[in-house]
Amino acid sequence: QGYDNMIVPIVDMLKYASPMSYDVLSYVVLAQLSTPSKDRLKQDGLNVSLWMHSLSSFCGNLYKKYPSVELVGLLQYIANTLKSGQSLQLLLLRDLVTKMSGIEVLEDISHEQLLAQAGGETLRNVVTDLLGIAKNTKRSSTRLKDSLVKHGLVMPLFLLIAQQRSACAYTTDTPHLKMLGELYDRCQETLDQFQAFLASQLSPAQYAELLPTLGELCGSYQLEPEVAFFIARPALGALNAAAAAAKAAAAAKGKDDKLALKEEKAAEEGPAPPEEAQQVRDVLPASSWELLSPHLYYTFWSLSLYDIFVPKERYDSEVKRLRRQVEEIDRYQAPFGVSHADPDQKAAALKRKKDKERCLTNQDKLKLELQEQTAHHKLVMVRLKE
């Protein structure tokens, strides 16, 4: 807790520990985190204590390297502390998600990297590789997802993070405005990170099964409409697609072919929002709907940057960069033969071959993804014009 440079060596050393030792370690970590006599803030009241930073980083590294270590107790502890208004525990959750999933909060990125966030998964992953963010997290991210889903902690944690965004200014025992602003930013960043993690691990249908309705999010859980839509957005596409399919099926079953085809086309271009769209009437005062329709309000908040903007230049730039990489690999291989007697040269040649295959695969994926996003964007624009 006092020497953060010892975290990685200690975590590496734990590979020799027994399963019983891991259980004891989990208990000791919880005991240290919950010690009431320890100050969570430094004496200046503006910064988180060093011991808490170090222990949070240790937990992230530990559970990433050893996914079999019991994790549910720590997640439940985070949920309990957030429920009691301890916003500083978001640091622990943020470190866990960062280390176990590889999804980092990027505080300083270039304009080109920002544009890439409007693209699809492949474009974002390519940019992530350029930033040097480690992505060897398949086992640990799956472990984190399973622990959250099996023990019913997905939405409780999600809702508690969202509620802390509004409540941190009133529940945190600090008089410093700077610290309150930092806590608010940390709540928003953790909310973004947690949503990105869940959206990457769950299909839209699985996400929708865990999600309360918009009416419940804004009413029962007292969330602001923009936060409620942010939480629900990954599932809204699945809900709209289901509504479109149901509408098309009903039309095809009960009406003539010409009319059914017309309604099916309309459903594909922009389905009317499902029951969720009617629930937004209770979100705003009745006077608001005199100038604004629930349909438009629902459509506005349900769309993401991916829906309304296509970063075509960014796609083209990445395809060109990958093409240049392939050309460089080919030029390097051309003048030099591979000596089968030299293991180093053979390993280097094998690595270049894998790099070339990866570049070619990413090129094809980016081209296909650009076509899909462009087609999707056109349908969204048609829906908005209607």
- The DSSP line for 166-219 is HHHHHHS----HHHHHHHHHHHHHHHHHHHHHHHHHS-HHHHHHHPPPHHHHHT
Report the C-alpha gap between 165 and 188 in whole angstroms: 7
Mean pLDDT of 251-256: 55
In the prediction, which pLDDT does 265 show?
Answer: 45
In sequence order, which residues have a C-beta less than 8 Å from that of residue 224 and are 6 or more positions away?
166, 218
Mean pLDDT of 36-50: 75
Lowest mean pLDDT among 49-63, 202-216, 217-231, 271-285: 271-285
pTM of the model: 0.82
In the prediction, which pLDDT does 75 show?
Answer: 94
Residue-wise pLDDT for 183-230, tens only, equals 888 889 999 999 999 998 998 888 988 988 888 888 889 899 899 999
Helix (H, G, I), strand (E, B) or coil at 41: strand
In the prediction, which pLDDT does 352 show?
Answer: 85
- Check if the beta carbon of residue 38 is closer than 8 Å to that of residue 49: yes
Question: Backbone phi, then psi, for 11, in 5-degree steps?
Answer: -65, -40
Beta bridge partners of 48: 41
Return the residue matching tokens 């909310």. Answer: 191
In the prediction, which pLDDT does 266 show?
Answer: 43
User: Would you place residue 95 in the very low, low, confident or very high pLDDT band (cuts 50, 70, 90)?
Assistant: very high
pLDDT over threshold 70, residue 67 = yes
User: Would you place residue 269 in the very low, low, confident or very high pLDDT band (cuts 50, 70, 90)?
Assistant: very low
**Radius of gyration from C-alpha coordinates of the chain:** 25
User: Would you place residue 341 in the very low, low, confident or very high pLDDT band (cuts 50, 70, 90)?
Assistant: low
Q: Helix 138-150 to helix 50-65 angle, to the nearest 10 degrees?
A: 100
Mean pLDDT of 276-303: 83
Positive or negative: CA dihedral 170, 176, 181, 185? negative
